Chain A
């Protein structure tokens, strides 16, 4: 949704459903045996630790569902639980990473991290308007004279060929 120079972005529920599925399946596979079967202490620690990771992933997905990202000329803000705002003039770093679990590196996803001196906002490419936010962050980094690493430049170029220069 765009209001003048301000745009508002959310994760769509259908984009988050696979993440909910992963969190639930992971928790079932790890916490399930801990809860239902007597385990050795080492196995309890290993599976319990992995289970905690999946629960944290589920909690992060809930947060994403509730979060609203607002992009304007002055910066990027996230509303909802753990609300914060990063002003472009305070920008300290922008990175765009690409991850894929497949051998041919297809069907992956991008991950944008925007940082100031104290806070960071991280966004995945399943967010509506991800390319627009990434491009705005890259331009702000350019205005602030921040050096983007090779990987970020290459990934930005895939999003918007204007960054290929």
Chain B
């Protein structure tokens, strides 16, 4: 297991470096930069005097340097003005849009993004597991058909559309405002137990909205895997020998069907993170989504890059956790896959 952990870590570290380079490269791909966009805005407003400031601002934000140097400074492996001031030093850069340090700007948003996505994954697992097992064990029953229909609806409905529908109906029929993660008095308040409770109360709707498609997909996958297992000979033998159905189900088929369940943690995390961006805009959630979109639009490269890198880190960690769990759960050779030593 130790060798496995080492090999997985050795894949993970360069992966993160490659992702950081790709993120930075993609942000830099569109023509121009934050300053030129801002100058265009000012010129369209008739402020031609702003042109004089271009070079000064470019120099101030380090945009006059080559892109690779900007990347190295951002990561923290190249000094800026004789000092290392990058992510490796805990400095996430400077937001040109907000004129504040990125770390100061995104602190709570990253925490809330993590909470929302963690709650979503929990929701996906807690809901899909019993339904998936029920659908497989009671195949072609009314319950199975009902859950299958709901599953297809869940898969086919875009998260943001579901958010809009819920926003509309909760307002029209119940007079509720379900946007946001806090009541107004808690938005800028320091963290207290009351604020945490308020967050928990608001977490349910975004969790359902973001998690619905993932839940539907997971139910389908678990049902299919469990059906495969239930048709295998060892299950038939177990039944023939008189093993009680529940014990037979829990002892072998569910265990085997759980493997893809664990292996999907990374994929669900990625889906939840990317799916939550638009939902956050629609539902006015104070997570990273809306700020990330704004930063990408304005080419606020350090703010956008830091967000994307954090989200990539979450995904890579999710995949690592799922791989480690899978290695613990089922360290078995698959001869049909050609894996032979």
- A residues sitting closer than 8 Å to B (CB atoms) are 19, 22-23, 25-26, 29-30, 33, 37-43, 50, 53-54, 57, 60, 97-101, 104-111, 124-125, 150-151, 154-155, 158-159
Contact = CB atoms under 8 A, between A and B. Distances in A.
A60 B6 CA distance: 12
A101 B5 contact: no
A134 to B, nearest CB: 11
B10 A39 contact: no
A36 to B, nearest CB: 8
A131 to B, nearest CB: 9
B26 to A, nearest CB: 23
29 contacts: A23-B6, A26-B10, A29-B13, A29-B14, A33-B77, A33-B88, A38-B89, A39-B76, A43-B89, A43-B90, A53-B5, A54-B6, A54-B9, A98-B331, A98-B341, A99-B3, A101-B7, A101-B8, A105-B333, A106-B337, A108-B333, A108-B339, A111-B1, A150-B332, A151-B331, A151-B332, A155-B331, A155-B333, A159-B341
B14 A106 contact: no
Contacts of A109: 3, 341
On chain B, which size bracket covers the interface?
A: 20 to 34
A111 B328 CA distance: 13
Contacts of B327: 99
A22 to B, nearest CB: 6
B189 interface: no
Given A57-B3, A99-B4, A158 B340 contact: yes
B339 A100 contact: yes
Given A97-B1, A104-B339, A124-B3, A40 B333 contact: no
Contact of A50 (B9, B11, B332): B9
